[in-house]
A and B are shown apart, each in its own frame.
Chain A
Amino acid sequence: MRFVRPETLEEAATLLGQESGVTRIISGGTDVMVQMRSGLVAPDLVVDLKHLTGLRSITPEAGGFRIGAAVSGAQLGEHEGVCALWPGVVEGVQLIGSTQVQGRATMVGNLCNGSPAADAVPGLVAADATVRIMGPNGSRDCPVAEIPAGPGRTTLGKGEFVTSVFLPARPERSGDAYLRFTPRTEMDIAVAAAAVSLTVDAKGVVTAARVALGAVAPTVMLVPEAAAAIIGTTLDDAAQAALAAAASAACNPIDDKRGTIEFRTRVAGVLARRAALIALARAGGQN
């Protein structure tokens, strides 16, 4: 195994593109180190990027924020602007691991690890965030929702890597929230998860919404039917029930050591409903 710290993004893309063996990028390293140690992967090349310009900074952009790929959960949580604009995204990121893991873990790492249960991802999908990708052919942008391809897999091409996440500006009276279920309060992986981002009008009617679910399908998924269930409502009891039902109906989970199909399906609906209520409160609406 080689450990390399390239001087530029371009150099990193070239290195990664030319390597014939297994490559890994380390920024937080909290997944890669575990996989290496367990023998799950034996990379031939590990590339450390976090010293490169911009990768550890959060910068305002077009009313939203561009967040470098190596920004840790702890750093993100300390950024008042992001916390105020996208609290649901931040709470998802901050649920990854312990305080110690937060000191290193990044939302980009969480995304590119490809776990269906990744805590950072439903919030990003609900937020309609995009990532900027560097590769041998230069840079491109892509919606977060299009990155996961299945458990442990992404749509990134050979030599490609994410350099930043962009969280867009949002209208007034908007809010988002993320909830997951774990048996313990901390140090766990989501058994089911839901993120909701919504906007209400002056009367408290939901005018726009995005609902994303985690740990209930091979990838984190956007559930338009769940969003449709609450758009045009004040999130009254009927809308809440419709939301929960739509979320549960969209689930395609597995039975495993962490939870049953039945449990995940039911709880995903419950979480979607509860997250929507939190998002609504954050948007200033009332049900």
Chain B
Amino acid sequence: MALDNTGQRVFKVVGTRPPRPDGVDKVTGRALYGADMSAPGMLVAHILRSPHAHAEIVSIDTSAAEALQGVKAVVTAADFTPQEDEYLDDILVNCLARDKVLYDGHAVAAVAATSADVAKAALKLIKVEYRKLPHVTDVDAAMRPDAPIVQSGRSLETVPEGMSENVTSHCEFGHGDLEAGFAKADLIIERSFTTAATHQGYIEPHACLATMGADGKGDLWCCTQGQYNVRSICADLLGIEASQLRVTASEIGGGFGGKTTVFIEPVALALSRKSGRPVKIVMSRSEVFLATGPTVSSSTDVKIGMTKDGRITAGQAHLRYSGGAFPCGTVDMGAQAAFAAYDLEAVQTLGWNALTNRPKEAAYRAPGAPQAIYAVESVVDELCQQLGLDPLEVRLKNAARKGTKSSYGPTFDDIGLMATLEAAKAHPHYSAPLGENQGRGLSAGFWFNFGGNTCVTLNVNTDGTVGITEGNPDIGGSRAAISQMAAEELGIPYDKIRTIVADTSSLGHNDVTDGSRVTFSVGLATIKAARDAISKMCSRAAQIWGIDEEAVVWEDGAACPAGPNAGKFPPMTLAEIAAVSFNTGGPIAGHYEFNADGAGVSFGVHLVDVEVDRETGGTKVLRYTVFQDAGKAVHPSYVEGQMQGGAVQGIGWALNEEYIYGEDGRLQNPGFLDYRIPVASDLPKIDTVILEIPNPGHPYGVRGVGETPIVPPLAALSNAVSRAIGKRLHSLPMSPPRILKALSEA
């Protein structure tokens, strides 16, 4: 759906900051999250996990556990049918290991019992005989020909011959003549980088409550970014029909991509089916770290050529990602995103994914992009340093703009990168003085943004209020934005609208809350559903007035005669039309269902000042400003919130967060003590500057904003540290021991 004539449009509700509809529930403790639901007769389940990084399961004996008083059901992989579809089978094997355990913490069996104590005692009675296998947790090591093979036969046809069987896919993107491009450069810099796997770190561990009867009907309550996706996966894995399984999304305590798949839900359903009782599973924090999806770990080589005056002549990147023990396509997105911010004549990116004995990757905010763009933006910054050029000017000179053939193929339409860079240049932050041991870093970032399948129903109640039913869990204020767009379109006050998130039986399919899609896609569907309801209300008014439908228009929340020729009738408000709806044809509702496209890519630019303690290697973030194009900020507070939250996740990634594996292949830091996400006292104020370059693909110009903000911080921090200490680090996180080591190397 194309952009309305927004240049002239004056918004009344969109762009304001009303209280979110679920605010009171969430500040009073009333809102119900995954672990907050119980059922009569409920059992509690716990999961037995592998103590090995890689081992064959020789046998599992559950008889003693089953015999324990209070144990009502035990399941293992043997209780599930292997799936023909590899995508589904990987999810299943990740939920319960089949022949091998593939990583430390891989689930092996689950017990449902009358209490947590009994369930835990039963786990100790399960006898698993393992035959340990050699393991590999490092992506570069996994790609060597002599590496232990994590899984065999998983390489796609895209993988060149002669590579380790751990390499599951290969991709290449780009255009132009690289050799000629590099020949034009005055300076070429080639560097290698690594980034550690990081976890989304949502504060709410995964939790679900499953009820499944002998009749094959099931109900599932869980914290997820997509109840429909949970339904279709679980129905397939349990061999039941989707219509028989109703999935209700609880309030969700953070996801960032990590709650777009399933880990415990099929297990709980199977235990419930076996025991005939409701079964609850709540993961512990260590289980979340061990066995849900962190992001990929990466190893990257980047080569960029630049002329003396700052023109990039060619760019090349080789990206090696590991999404853990299962095939993973995230490197494709990294390879496409790596150079997206630049207008290049010659660019090439190659990507490989390799299997390692680590948990199966799950999406994390702009999956694949931060790692790639970190490497590219670091090399661009080093080129600027060596050529004595201003890094912002160089980015302006090379920035992708309308008409640029992007590094991943398509030609850009209206994009906001130039405007975003100009805003950064004009901001006082860019020219503020710096002290000793301080440095300023800059990085651009990019994300594609997606649309997807969406359904919305909008019910006009007889008292003149409106109920909206949508199908995407509200992860950061989307109910507010959706209500705002409906209020804008209908011309009624925001507080006359209540938006709820439907279960899978109450509304048609909605894709997962991901890809920065909800405000864009669900908003678009809401606008269309409102227009559908408006046309019905206009028709009712026409009927009442005895004139043609075409002679009625909708203005300021009321049906009006289109002009003097239509007749002289006072406007009928939504409430007036609704009040007589039973007399004029029945209830009034608007609907819209579609597969949204045209989300519009998003660019951001981050500026950060740091100070490094040269004696300890500690880094303090002094000042931070985020510049981002939001298309149109529907609820600016929540747009700022996305920008601030993403930036801080990126700061954590850059400075301290990492999955640390020991020689034994076991995860050493599965907890918030040693997996260090930023705390309030680590941070300065995060300033935000929202730009509004309308997205041509949305009637109000809305673009997704949620993912892009995690992309720039990695390089911005690295560039800042490099400028503060005069040394460049090539590995994330830039933990104090690494910085101190860099400083001590002359």
Q: Do chains A and B touch in the complex (CB under 8 A)?
A: yes
B309 in the interface, Cβ–Cβ < 8 Å? no
**Nearest Cβ distance between residue A265 and chain B, in whole angstroms?**
11
Residues of A contacting B656 with CB < 8 Å?
183-184
A186 to B681, Cβ gap below 8 A? yes
By beta carbon, the residue of chain A nearest B660 is A257
Query: Which B-chain residue is minimally distant from A269 (CB atoms)?
Result: B615
Q: Give bound CA distance, A256 to B737, whole Å.
A: 11
The residue among B655, B669, B672, B673 with the most chain A CB atoms within 10 A of its own CB is: B673
Contacts of A191 in B (CB 8 A): 736
Residues of A within 8 A of B681 (CB): 184-186
B678 CB–A CB distance under 8 Å: yes
Is B132 an interface position by the 8 A CB rule? no
Whether, in the assembled complex, B385 has its beta carbon less than 8 Å from a beta carbon of chain A, the answer is no
Q: Let me know if B679 and A187 touch, CB within 8 A.
A: yes
B676: Cβ under 8 A from any A Cβ: yes
Q: Which residues of B contact A59 (CB under 8 A)?
A: none
Q: Which B residues touch A256, using CB under 8 A?
A: 668
| 6 further contact pairs, Cβ within 8 A, besides A184-B682, A186-B679, A267-B615 | A38-B286, A183-B655, A257-B674, A263-B617, A266-B744, A267-B616
Question: Digit string of A42-71 for contact with B (CB within 8 Å is 1, else 0)?
Answer: 000000000000000000000000000000
Per the 8 Å Cβ criterion, residues 652-672 of B in contact with A are: 655-656, 660, 668-669, 672
Q: Which residues of B contact A183 (CB under 8 A)?
A: 618, 655-656, 676, 735-736
> Within 8 Å CB of A185, what residues of B?
679, 681-682
Main secondary structure of the interface of B (DSSP, over half): loop
Tell me the complex Cα distance, A270–B615, Å: 7
Using a CB–CB cutoff of 8 Å, the interface residues on chain A facing chain B are 38, 181, 183-189, 191, 256-260, 262-263, 266-267, 270
20 sample A-B contacts, Cβ–Cβ < 8 Å, listed by A number: A181-B616, A184-B656, A184-B679, A184-B681, A185-B679, A185-B682, A186-B679, A186-B682, A187-B676, A187-B679, A188-B673, A191-B736, A256-B668, A257-B668, A257-B669, A258-B674, A259-B736, A263-B741, A266-B615, A270-B616
Say yes or no: B676 contacts A181, CB within 8 Å: no
Q: Which residues of A contact B741 (CB under 8 A)?
A: 260, 262-263
B676 close to A259 (CB less than 8 A):
no
Question: B616, B674, B679: which has the most chain A beta carbons within 10 Å?
Answer: B616
Q: Chain B residues with Cβ under 8 A from A267's Cβ?
A: 615-616, 736, 740
Contact residues in B for A188 (Cβ distance below 8 Å)? 673, 676
Measured CB to CB, the residues of B under 8 A from A are 286, 615-618, 655-656, 660, 668-669, 672-674, 676, 678-679, 681-682, 735-737, 740-741, 744
Roughly how many angstroms separate A263 CA and B743 CA in the complex, as a whole number? Answer: 12
Given the known inter-chain contacts A257-B668, A262-B741, A263-B736, please indicate yes or no for A184 contacting B676, CB distance below 8 A: yes
CB distance from B735 to the nearest CB of A (A): 6
A247 to chain B, nearest CB (A): 13
Q: Are A266 and B740 in contact (CB under 8 A)?
A: yes
Question: For A189, A258, A259, A262, which residue has the most chain B Cβ atoms within 10 angstroms?
Answer: A258
Residues of chain B within 8 A (CB-CB) of A257 are 660, 668-669, 674
Interchain residue pairs A-B with the least CB separation, the first 7 = A263-B737, A185-B681, A270-B615, A257-B668, A257-B660, A183-B656, A260-B737
Q: Taking the nearest CB of chain A, how far is it from the CB of B524, in angstroms?
A: 41
In the complex, what distance in Å separates the CA atom of A275 from the CA atom of B525? 62
Q: Closest Cβ of chain A: how far from B739's Cβ, in Å?
A: 10
> Which residues of A are found within 8 Å of B744, using beta-carbon distances?
266
Residue of B nearest to A39 (CB): B120
Q: Give chain B residues whose Cβ lies under 8 Å from the Cβ of A189.
A: 673-674
CA distance A259 to B674 in the complex (A): 11
Residues of A within 8 A of B617 (CB): 263
CB-defined contacts of B682 to chain A, threshold 8 Å:
184-186
Taking the closest CB of chain A, its distance from the CB of B159, in whole angstroms, is 34
Complex: chain A residue closest to B619, CB-CB: A183
Name the residue of chain A whose CB is nearest to the CB of B286. A38
Residues in A with CB closer than 8 Å to B655 are 183
List, in ascending order, chain B residues with CB within 8 A of A38's CB.
286
Q: Which residue on B lies nearest to A263, using beta carbons?
A: B737
Bound-state Cα–Cα, A184 to B656, Å: 8
Complex Cα spacing A235 to B679, Å: 35
Q: How many Å from the CB of B511 to the closest CB on chain A?
A: 36
Query: Which residues of chain A come closer than 8 Å to B668, judged between CB atoms?
Result: 256-257
Q: CA of A181 to CA of B681 in the docked complex: distance in angstroms?
A: 15
CA distance A186 to B678 in the complex (A): 9
Instruction: Assess the B674–A263 pair: CB atoms within 8 A.
Output: no
Closest A residue, CB atoms, query B615: A270
Q: Are A184 and B615 in contact (CB under 8 A)?
A: no
A125 to B616, alpha carbons, bound, how many Å?
24
With both chains docked as a complex, state the minimum distance between the C-beta of A268 and any C-beta of chain B, in angstroms: 10
The CA of A259 and the CA of B669, in the complex, are separated in Å by 13
Chain A contacts of B673 at CB under 8 A?
Answer: 187-189
B616 touches A259 (CB 8 A): no
Q: Which residues on the A side are within 8 Å of B737 (C-beta)?
A: 259-260, 262-263
Q: Which residues of B contact A187 (CB under 8 A)?
A: 672-673, 676, 679
Q: Which residue of B lies closest to A274 (CB)?
A: B615
Judge whether B660 and A184 touch: CB under 8 Å.
no
Taking CB atoms, residues of chain B closer than 8 Å to A259 are 736-737
Which chain A residue shows the least CB distance to B671? A38
Roughly how many angstroms separate A124 CA and B283 CA in the complex, as a whole number?
Answer: 39
User: What is the minimal beta-carbon distance from B391 to any residue of chain A, in angstroms?
Assistant: 27
In the bound assembly, the distance between CA atoms of A259 and B668 in angstroms comes to 13
- Inside 8 A of A184's CB, which chain B residues have their CB? 656, 676, 678-679, 681-682
CA distance A267 to B676 in the complex (A): 20
In Å, the complex CA distance between A259 and B744 comes to 16
Measured in the bound complex, the distance between the Cα atoms of B618 and A262 in whole Å is 15
> How far does the alpha carbon of A260 sit from the alpha carbon of B655 in the complex, in Å?
17
A138 to B509, CA, bound (A): 72
A264 CB → nearest B CB, Å: 9
Taking the nearest CB of chain B, how far is it from the CB of A201, in angstroms? 29
B740: chain A residues at CB < 8 Å are 263, 266-267
Closest A residue by C-beta to B737: A263
Q: How far is the CB of B425 from chain A (nearest CB, A)?
A: 32
- Cα A191 to Cα B286 with chains together (Å): 22
Q: How far is the CA of A186 from the CA of B741 in the complex (A)?
A: 23
> How far in angstroms is the closest Cβ of chain A from B650?
16
Min Cβ gap A57→B in Å is 31
Which of A38, A183, A188, A189 has most B Cβ within 10 Å?
Answer: A183
Q: How far is the CA of A270 from the CA of B744 in the complex (A)?
A: 14
* Separation of A258 and B678 alpha carbons in the complex (Å): 16
Which residues from chain A contact B674 at a C-beta distance below 8 Å? 189, 257-258
How far in angstroms is the closest Cβ of chain B from A181?
Answer: 5
B668 (CB) vs chain A CBs: closest residue:
A257
Distance between B264 CB and nearest chain A CB, rounded to angstroms: 19
Please give me the residue from chain A that is nearest to B120 by CB atom: A39
Residues of B within 8 A of A260 (CB): 737, 741
The interface residues of chain A lying within 8 Å CB-to-CB of B286 are 38
Inter-subunit contact A181/B660 (CB<8 Å): no
Question: Most chain-B Cβ atoms within 10 A of its Cβ — which of A186, A191, A263?
Answer: A263
Q: Which residue on chain B has the smallest CB distance to residue A261?
A: B737
> What is the minimal beta-carbon distance from B198 to any residue of chain A, in angstroms?
14
Q: Which residue of A lies closest to B674 (CB)?
A: A257
Bound CA–CA A183/B674 (angstroms)? 10
Q: What is the CB-to-nearest-CB distance from A33 to chain B, in angstroms, rounded to a whole number?
A: 14
The CA of A183 and the CA of B735, in the complex, are separated in Å by 7
